[in-house]
Amino acid sequence: MRKTIENSHLILVAAALIACLIIAGCTSSTDTNNSSGEKVLRVGDLWTVSSINPGDGHDGGTFVTEKAIVTETLIGANDNFGLVPNLAESWEQINDTVWEFKLKQGVKFQNGKEMKADDVVASLDDTIRLSPSTALLMSYDHAEAVDDYTVRVYTTELNPLVPGVLHYPDTAIVSQDSYDENGNFIKPIGTGPMMVESYDEQTGELVVVRNEDWWGGDPGIDKMILKGYESPATRAMLIENGDIDFTCDPPYSEVERLNATDGIHVEVYNTPRLYKLDANLGHEAMADLNVRKAISYAIDRDGIVENVLYGVGTSAGGVFLPSMTWSNKELSPYPYDPELAKQYLAESGWTDTDNDGVLEKGGEKLKVKIFTYTERPGLPPMLEAIAANLRDVGFEVEETSMENSALSSAMGDDWDLYLSATNLAMVPDPEYVLKSWYTTNGTSNKAGYSNPTVDEMIVEGHYISDLDERYDHFREIEAIVYDDLPTINVAYYGVAIVMDDDVEGYQFDPTAHDYRIDPFMTISS
């Protein structure tokens, strides 16, 4: 083990040095001299900061809401993904197509103006205009201000998802002063604990400062400087060298060493994200359920969690984390059983006639092409481990890892399995994921899965408002796709948060999509 850690450290250092030659300097261009006693947190994110406009969709919305903590949503969520008040103190369904939200009073935007119902209506209208997918998810028709602190949202049909969608970071509320007189976006003016001081589109560096009038309390930091570094090795090197104070997901092989390094420490948490393989059901071999079962039984999930993720994650059974209120807790991970995998392949006529270790049928080799992306540190080594597992049971495997920006064009339709780490709680309700991934026309149905029973059940489930009945219904759907295996669940994601020892009081939010900055954390020196 010691030799492995030392070798991986050499690789880490080499990669990081190369990355620093490419990046225009490893440290922030902003003066971080803290001699005045100002509490400045330097954050190294895992994605380039390409937008600070929540209206630009997931990239802008999630970053500004969860990481820069400039904007806030009407609805929050607790540790079990249940909905809780945030900017809205309460809500109720008035009838099948009307939801009413009571706003907290005395909440101010960062320009000093009080947030009122007209502001919320205008912000929601902007979101819907800029994001048709959010409009569709909400069945949004229009919103109106009933009085200064009451908003009604009208939908085109009965839709129990509305409060959950209003937890979505893209629906964060911003002042209309975020736009100029021509409707052009300037910067987000929200209600959160930090507010934008500057943003450099060229370098992707965002600087936010403390909001003295935040309704939620007294923030523990004065300023944050946020910048993205997409290489896990670079993030590890920067925090080890003291160039940043807070980051996540270094190479997992480095977690133990980093945690033992003077001046920094690592905290590991579960987060609502799933490592999964999408199977291309448009390809003959992948369309065979026996082949998909063979793949699932061939994967050593526990070995991957221990030896590839270094314990940063857990083996996956159903789609949803067991901690999620609506998850089907009866669905355990498929066991590692190479012999059973070979039996399923034999049942479908795959045999090794020439004793070369690769199965064939009808003169064709059992070959799979697997793709993944490199930004998340667990994916490339997980791909290697899965490829080795599949070779052991008779597959010929071609594996490809590349940057996410180039992956789609490289794959085209010439892929069999796609390994990703996909979020499970953009909207805290089971319908969101199950509909998107598994209905015939689902927006994220990469597998091309089509099961009329599932389609019908998801439509039925949409109209169930009683939560106990609703969750039971969607647990049945989760069990069906668990058996059908259009996606093969490998592991639940674990996030490794790396912090300078001077960063104190951090509380992790398990509902965040990578992590959420805690406004009450502070810096001791």
Give tens-digit pLDDT for 206-263: 999 999 999 999 999 999 999 999 899 999 999 999 999 999 999 999 999 999 999 9
Which run of H or of E encompasses 404?
A: helix 404-411
Specify the higher pLDDT residue, 302 or 13: 302
User: Quick one: pLDDT at residue 404?
Assistant: 85
Cα–Cα dist 173/115, whole Å? 9
Mean pLDDT of 138-155: 97
User: Quick one: pLDDT at residue 35?
Assistant: 56
What band does 475 get if pLDDT is binned at 50, 70 and 90?
Answer: very high
Q: Does 3 score more than 80 pLDDT?
A: no
Percent of the chain with pLDDT over 90: 78
Is the separation of the CB atoms in 167 and 73 below 8 Å? yes
Give tens-digit pLDDT for 247-278: 999 999 999 999 999 999 999 998 899 999 99
Lowest mean per-residue pLDDT among 24-28, 308-312, 395-399: 24-28
User: Quick one: pLDDT at residue 26?
Assistant: 45
Amino acid at 62: T
Tokens matching residue 227 = 């910048």
Q: Does 120 score more than 50 pLDDT?
A: yes
Average pLDDT, the chain: 91
Q: Does 491 score more than 80 pLDDT?
A: yes
Cα–Cα dist 21/521, whole Å? 33
Cα–Cα dist 423/74, whole Å? 21
Give tens-digit pLDDT for 37-90: 899 999 999 888 888 888 765 566 788 999 999 999 999 998 888 899 999 999
Cα–Cα dist 419/370, whole Å? 7
User: Quick one: pLDDT at residue 114?
Assistant: 98
Cα–Cα dist 252/498, whole Å? 11
Cα–Cα dist 51/118, whole Å? 26
What band does 379 get if pLDDT is binned at 50, 70 and 90?
Answer: very high
Q: Say which DSSP state 332 is in.
A: P
Query: Angle between the 430-438 and 452-462 helix axes, to the nearest 10 degrees?
Result: 150
Is the separation of the CB atoms in 362 and 331 below 8 Å? no
Cα–Cα dist 502/483, whole Å? 48
Mean pLDDT of 510-521: 91
User: Quick one: pLDDT at residue 136?
Assistant: 87
Q: Does 411 score more than 50 pLDDT?
A: yes
User: Quick one: pLDDT at residue 13?
Assistant: 42
User: Quick one: pLDDT at residue 57?
Assistant: 59
Selection from 260, 243, 384, 378 nearest residue 312 by Cα: 378
Is the separation of the CB atoms in 505 and 354 below 8 Å? no
Mean pLDDT of 465-469: 92
What band does 1 get if pLDDT is binned at 50, 70 and 90?
Answer: very low
Mean pLDDT of 366-391: 96
User: Quick one: pLDDT at residue 358?
Assistant: 97
Sign of CA dihedral 420, 425, 426, 431: positive
Tokens matching residue 321 = 């984390």
User: Quick one: pLDDT at residue 508?
Assistant: 94
Selection from 212, 215, 185, 190 nearest residue 201 by Cα: 185
CA distances from 88 to 71, 74, 102, 193, 447 (A): 14, 5, 6, 17, 38
The reported pTM is 0.84
Write the burial class of residue 23 (CB in 10 Å: 0-12 exposed, 13-18 middle, 19+ buried): middle
Specify the higher pLDDT residue, 11 or 320: 320
Mean pLDDT of 443-472: 95
Is the separation of the CB atoms in 41 and 245 below 8 Å? yes
Q: Does 315 score more than 80 pLDDT?
A: yes
Give tens-digit pLDDT for 6-40: 344 434 444 444 444 444 444 444 444 455 689 99
Cα–Cα dist 165/431, whole Å? 11
Is the separation of the CB atoms in 431 and 324 below 8 Å? no
Alpha helices by DSSP H, 49-107: 58-62
Cα–Cα dist 180/58, whole Å? 23
Domains, the chain, with CATH or none: 2-71+189-269+495-523 (3.40.190.10), 75-178 (3.90.76.10), 272-494 (3.10.105.10)
Tokens matching residue 374 = 């490199």
Phi/psi for 513 (5° steps) reads: -85, -25
Q: What angle do CA 378, 76, 321 make, to 5 degrees?
A: 35
User: Quick one: pLDDT at residue 14?
Assistant: 44
